[in-house]
Amino acid sequence: MTLATHQSLRQLLRQVPSNAFSKSTRKAFLFSYLYVVLPRIIKHVSRAIKTGRPQDSVDPILKTLYRALHPSKFPLLVAKMIATTNVLTPFVQKLLQRKTNNKLIVSTIASFLGAIINFPSFQAHIIKYNRYFSLDFTLILFTRALDTVGTSLFPVLVKNPPPFLQNYGDGLLFVVSSFFIMHYWFFYPNKLPPAYHRWITSAANVDPEIVTAFKAIKSGTLKYGEHCPDEDVFVSMCDRYGQDPSKGSLIKNTPLPCEVLHAFTTKNCELHALWRFQRGFKFAFNLYGTINFVVWLIRRGSPKRYLINTCRSSAFLGAFIALYWYSLCLARTRLLPKLFPNVPITRWDDTIAPAAGAMGCGFGCFIENAQRRKELSLFVAPRALGALVPSEPTKFNLMVERLAFSLSFMVLASFAKQDPKKVRGIMGKGLEAIFKD
């Protein structure tokens, strides 16, 4: 080793402490920590408010704050990635100085190395508890990176983009993502993260017999006008609602009356949709009301704005649920069978009607404003993608996940340093705050 090389190496090593614990590293940890703990704290606080026992929330909140500090949890993963990137940047710059002085290339390589070095330990730790934790983070980063690249290249590739796409592109992304999520929720629930599947089931408030029956019709174990293994699937439902079991018979009823799918609330599909909207609005108001109230307490904004935002978000979820059920009815009895009478009855129930419901529900997002639609689409897109990719933690899948996570972090970090406005949504603002110095 020459004297000049030795001196250069010593200069680089002197930068390690300052780079590793720079302001960007500290801010990365803080933002990631708040991202992890705030939703859980809000959940504990809202539960305490509902039960009227605020003291019950103290212990769970303290545990949440403590557990998020674990070395293998997400906040320290992000901090370590930023610290490693900062530390490696001068080394990479020194190695490439003869070939390039481009700071973007140096930053890109260092960001990739920062992720690929630190993510495997986080992944190995987290999949012991829940496979979907690491996969969720990976898919969130991947869809954000894809969105950033896509929205950056779109104006370059398409000189005069149609106003329709500019105004409603996020909404359409939400519609498509919701289609995949609801289709898999109905027919292939194991493709969704268990917690997410439970939340959708709770919000949809659907009788389990309905899901079982549509699955049986699709698989062929339940047929109209024939005695089949699953022909009594609606008997328990009819008993539970105090109805004549013959109403749920697929031998006597071809097709099954919508009244059964309406949980016997009404025979009218429009009134049932309004009933579903009301129930969905109430469910969402309890959810968003608590969240927005906590945010309002922190930010102290306008009470009127707080109420408007809560009502709008509640109306969105109510419309999402109502449109799902009404689209289902339109496809199986109200409209499509009359327009296409030659289509077999079974075909409406085993494919077309559930698909219509899955597609129709997403249009409820247009109740929200453009900014909120953007956040909603970026929230559901990773979940939809997660239903399409294999989730088994095989060696190959875990390796692909590491590569996808590292490349996504590389893209987002590079954009955040060069042009942070290109990273849309809350993540973009967070990355801009981290790297702006």
pLDDT, tens only, 162-215 = 777 778 889 999 999 999 999 999 888 888 888 888 888 888 888 888 888 888
Whether 140 maps to a domain, the answer reads yes
Q: What is the mean pLDDT of the chain?
A: 85
Same domain, 204 and 144: no
**44-60 pLDDT per residue, tens:** 877 777 777 777 778 88
Tokens of 344: 């077999």
Whether 215 maps to a domain, the answer reads yes
Confidence of residue 20 (pLDDT cuts 50, 70, 90): low
Same domain, 217 and 266: yes
Same domain, 367 and 314: yes
Share of the chain above pLDDT 90, in %: 33
Q: Given this model, what pLDDT does residue 1 score?
A: 47
Whether 167 maps to a domain, the answer reads no
- pTM of the predicted model as reported, rounded to 2 decimal places: 0.86
Compare 7 and 201 and report the one with higher pLDDT: 201
Same domain, 125 and 232: no
Whether 27 maps to a domain, the answer reads yes
Whether 171 maps to a domain, the answer reads no
Share of the chain residues as helix, strand and coil, in percent rounded to the nearest 5:
80, 0, 20
Same domain, 76 and 200: no
Same domain, 93 and 233: no
Range of the domain at 299: 190-372
CB contact at 8 A, 284 and 318: yes
Mean pLDDT lowest among 42-56, 148-162, 192-206, 311-325: 42-56
Domains contained in the chain, number: 2
Tokens of 197: 């599947």
Same domain, 106 and 252: no
Residue bearing tokens 């009478």: 341
Same domain, 30 and 120: yes
Whether 322 maps to a domain, the answer reads yes
CA 437/CA 433 separation, integer angstroms:
8
299 exposure class (CB count in 10 Å sphere: 0-12, 13-18, 19+):
exposed
Same domain, 293 and 347: yes
Same domain, 300 and 425: no
Q: Given this model, what pLDDT does residue 12 score?
A: 47
**84-119 pLDDT per residue, tens:** 988 888 888 888 876 666 778 888 899 999 999 999
Whether 165 maps to a domain, the answer reads no
Same domain, 71 and 14: yes
Same domain, 276 and 224: yes
Whether 154 maps to a domain, the answer reads yes
